[in-house]
Structure 1
């Protein structure tokens, strides 16, 4: 007698949940390590032993994002060659150890080098987890699953802000970086033991037997795609495919949009507490804004992902960027505290998920043998904006032009609206093969 289809269908769902949960955990620590610098920056600026100026602090913020640029560009191609799981493990180990070096750094030079190394791991991890989650997402739920994954990044930002509030005053700013060793102890062992490799990747690399064993282990069917000859092609072929057959315009527009989006994400995240303090708010309130904007980011990921599964990731990204411009511009106006919290929350709701929907759009327009490369290079090119954003914020704060900083960031959001709109003209998502992981029918 055949089994009920309900338990059978649940197997594929459970596997997707397993992948999302493990990736969510490592991305949580990714967000913590990234945002902790902005959370402890006021304390670092007040540390006389460091002698850190606002302009120099902007440079230090850019070191991590420059490392992320190199990490995203190199790891994307590497991931399409050696697999998603190995890269996730390696990147997590790198940024975790680098955080410990930051905590023990004797001076600004060592600290900056450690932040650069941490950035390399952070930059490689995010596009790789997005790729893996997209490949295990149930049909018609890809954008929602990516949005759910990226709530971890904002949760990491909230945790970073809380650590800034709880640890900096009583224990000093270094204590927050020691927490960065946690993923090495907590996340890495779980990923090593439980995270499955991408079935689509294994098939694309002609590792059919390995894919079949993995599918049997989790009682799911193999994705509906044929093995490709990608294993024998040149290492840059996946990148070259992004420019073939007239795709170069769309690729460059997505890269430019990612530049603007990540300039906003990292510029605002790094300097929001300091810029709000310059607007006359107390330090405690300024750090609380960092918590609120990331809470908004979590809500935004879930809302944007759900809406994008219905109307498309590109449309949601365009609308969200436009609303981000409005929110950031309003932050440059000193308002009553309660109203300011509302605006900060809404800005976070739009800002972070707008950039995430760019990744979702790129992932949906890629195939298994170049998906990690497409997402990785979109993220990597965007890292130029992530490098520029903290530096730009530092220059504006040093010039005591905080209100102009909000105006510049708002204008960037408007430009991103135009770019992503152009990228989506006449384009449809999900052009690649069907990678849905189906349950085994028994």
Structure 2
């Protein structure tokens, strides 16, 4: 299909304001993602106290892992389905799926059916996050990808705070099932808005042969018109070729290091989101205080993302992520000691500042490693492989809780933080080694976010 020449007079300037609608819609979707992920941890103490339901600590950890196992499958399959449905419809499908999973949890009469509901919710949750990240990075103004990513991810923590509020108010008054009924709201609120207002990705449109539509969307939002280099590969063969490109000389070692850092980061995120209230309860804090710690750590996460996004645009996402991982490890070690309640709130809040944005900056760091044509595939695999950490985290703490060793979970979190710091810190070194060994390879373009010199 012939593409019309660019018309500068009709093209919107590429500013933060022009892409705000995309950011706002993805923000809403990720808000509900964060609410759904954190609902389970917020109501777990009430579910464990419900003798009629029969949930044990071992079951609780297993179900948490089934949720994140569903997210792993969702993250790894979303790319192939995007070739068929596009990113917009895949986002709608993801929101619908995790809303249906929440409804299944609300009506579940036994632990097995409840676990199935969490697995179904995980399938939708796993596909949603990489899609929203890819959309926001594509539409973000140049050199503002880290900041825009940080702003997007604040919604996850607002959603976590909403889940905690439901756990503190609705669960004691009406029962834990009504909290999961609240998880059906995304299908009612977000789906109609996404269908009506969210544009399709210009890169995806071009890859599907819809060049004129791709140019029209790019012009409307002030984006550069997509080229074949920037378009994601379509089909199974194209996707296999795209995965092979992640291991070209410049990124041969950086890719597995990003995977390891993402594994550690998501082990922390989902281990804490699932088990923090119960771990704090085991340390001797009351049920209300223990659940409220989940709200405090998510509030800290919002502040941390706002700080990390701006800091990473100035100093590089890799450097910020490494420092944040180390500070997370320090916070986890402090929480392994029973501190006065006021001091504990402060430590939990500060740990939230570092913990969640350490992982998000791993995502932002993909812009310093992968070229435009590789970015969506690279980000998908970083999030997908990282989901194995999300599976391991809830399961591991569940095993420790079954043996009465929840406090060891804080040590496990600290070790994950240190390993994540080392992994992400080594990424620039391996890139330099790869470029030295392959002088004929073109340098990585520094578009869309923190550039290579800042890494």
Report the TM-score when normalising by structure 2: 0.89
Contact conserved, 1:258 with 1:358, CA < 8 A, in 2? yes
Bigger shift: 231-240 or 105-114? 231-240
Find the aligned partners of 2:225 and 2:364 in 1 and give their Cα distance: 20
Q: How does 1:17-416 map to 2 (within 5 A)?
A: 17-79=20-82, 82-216=85-219, 218=220, 220-223=222-225, 225-226=227-228, 230-231=233-234, 233-416=237-420
Find the aligned partners of 1:214 and 1:52 in 2 and give their Cα distance: 50
Q: How many residues align?
A: 429
Find the aligned partners of 2:103 and 2:372 in 1 and give their Cα distance: 36
1:439 alignment counterpart: none
CA distance 1:219–1:392, change in 2 (3 Å): closer
Find the aligned partners of 2:84 and 2:240 in 1 and give their Cα distance: 11
Deviation at 1:224, TM superposition (A): 6.3
2:444 alignment counterpart: 431
Find the aligned partners of 2:14 and 2:414 in 1 and give their Cα distance: 45
Find the aligned partners of 1:51 and 1:76 in 2 and give their Cα distance: 38
Deviation at 1:198, TM superposition (A): 1.6
Equivalent position SS for 1:42:
helix
Contact conserved, 1:157 with 1:294, CA < 8 A, in 2? yes
Find the aligned partners of 1:297 and 1:380 in 2 and give their Cα distance: 22
Deviation at 1:212, TM superposition (A): 2.0
Contact conserved, 1:206 with 1:231, CA < 8 A, in 2? no
Find the aligned partners of 1:184 and 1:207 in 2 and give their Cα distance: 29
Contact conserved, 2:107 with 2:177, CA < 8 A, in 1? yes
Contact conserved, 1:80 with 1:201, CA < 8 A, in 2? yes
Find the aligned partners of 1:181 and 1:84 in 2 and give their Cα distance: 22
Find the aligned partners of 1:311 and 1:91 in 2 and give their Cα distance: 34
CA distance 1:246–1:410, change in 2 (3 Å): same
CA distance 1:189–1:367, change in 2 (3 Å): farther
Equivalent position SS for 2:117:
helix
Larger relative contact order (CA 8 Å, sep ≥ 6):
1
Gaps of 5+ in 1: 437-442
Equivalent position SS for 1:234:
helix
Deviation at 1:242, TM superposition (A): 1.0
Equivalent position SS for 1:431:
coil
Deviation at 1:435, TM superposition (A): 6.5
Bigger shift: 13-22 or 73-82? 73-82
Report the TM-score when normalising by structure 1: 0.92
